């Protein structure tokens, strides 16, 4: 497995692979890899001939007062896990190489990003779109892999690729969960033992809603109210939003049907967690 820190040397490597007829798969990450990330790498390894994993804690997608400085990092561990999962190269750029002092181009999506995490984390998705477009430019992937835990992010990236005529297929992969249902996230490491137990209310609320939907309860208002009650049983939980949305546009719906999604963001103590489920 090759390690690259500079965009120009990585681009030269990618062009050599393409001249040899190889398809490139990209898995963008912020590091501190877990089984969710590894499932993306394994999928890319099946689909493509050369898998690149980027490891970059992107400063411009963090807002004021967020956890940029505290975000967990362990590059040596990440490289070992990426190699085992099937990565052919890792790209570990510096912030200076991604955003030189004269950098001035940013990418903003205006529809999918206007609600939910976009409303609560101002500027977040501009930072995400900008870094992903930079990675697409350097890595020239045929396919790029994103997990559905961050479904709003994944759909925004998919829309960016379509609207900008980017020659990349954005592949959305299933949420990977712990044995007790908690969606895997690098931020789970922040949780204390008691908070880790409280965090289970996210998945409990989502599965409660699915069960009620199957019983014939289609009212978004009723289901969000019941989910709110489930989450409030955890003393450390503070709800940021619960949303019943169209599965493609992420616009809110009043009456649920198959293909809709339920999204939620909840703070457990100081840790912000997100999750969702498809009906």
Catalytic residue list contains 37: yes
| 265 in Cβ contact with 273 (< 8 Å) | yes
In contact, 181 and 204? CB cutoff 8 Å: yes
Q: Are 94 and 222 in contact (CB under 8 A)?
A: no
Residues with Cβ within 8 Å of 42's Cβ and at least 6 positions away in sequence, in order, are 85, 86
- Report the 10 Å Cβ neighbour count for 45: 17
Element holding 263 (H helix, E strand):
strand 261-268
Name 52's Cβ contacts closer than 8 Å, sequence gap at least 6: 10, 14, 24, 25, 26, 27, 87, 88, 89, 90, 91, 139, 141
The first and second tokens of residue 63, run together, are 């807002």
- Could you tell me which of 261, 150, 270 has the C-alpha nearest to residue 206? 261
The Cα–Cα gap between 179 and 183 comes to 9
Q: Which of 8, 34, 37, 208 is catalytic?
A: 37
- What is the rounded CA–CA span in Å between residue 219 and residue 238? 23
> Which residue numbers are catalytic?
37
């Amino acid at each position: 497995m090759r390690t690259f820190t500079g965009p120009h040397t990585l681009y030269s490597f990618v062009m050599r692979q393409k001249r040899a007829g190889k398809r490139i798969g990209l898995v963008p990450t912020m590091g501190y890899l877990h089984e969710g990330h590894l499932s993306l790498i394994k999928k890319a390894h099946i689909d493509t001939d050369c898998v690149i994993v980027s490891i970059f804690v992107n400063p411009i997608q963090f807002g004021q007062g967020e956890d940029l400085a505290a975000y967990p990092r362990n590059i040596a561990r990440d490289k070992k896990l990426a190699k085992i999962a099937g990565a052919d190269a890792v790209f570990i750029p510096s912030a200076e190489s991604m955003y030189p002092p004269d950098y001035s181009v940013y990418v903003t999506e205006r529809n999918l990003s206007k609600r939910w995490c976009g409303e609560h984390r101002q500027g977040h998705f501009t930072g995400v779109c900008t870094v992903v477009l930079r990675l697409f430019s350097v890595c020239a992937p045929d396919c790029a892999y994103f997990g559905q835990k961050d479904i709003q992010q994944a759909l925004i990236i998919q829309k960016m690729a379509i609207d900008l005529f980017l020659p990349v297929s954005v592949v959305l992969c299933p949420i990977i969960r712990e044995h007790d249902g908690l969606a895997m996230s690098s931020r789970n490491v922040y949780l204390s033992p008691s908070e880790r137990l409280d965090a289970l209310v996210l998945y409990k609320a989502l599965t409660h809603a699915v069960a009620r939907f199957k019983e014939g309860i289609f009212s978004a208002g009723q289901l969000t109210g019941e989910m709110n009650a489930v989450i409030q049983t955890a003393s450390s939980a503070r709800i940021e939003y619960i949303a019943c949305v169209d599965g493609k546009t992420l616009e809110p719906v009043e009456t649920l049907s198959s293909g809709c999604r339920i999204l939620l963001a909840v703070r457990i103590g100081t840790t912000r967690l997100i999750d969702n489920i498809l009906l």
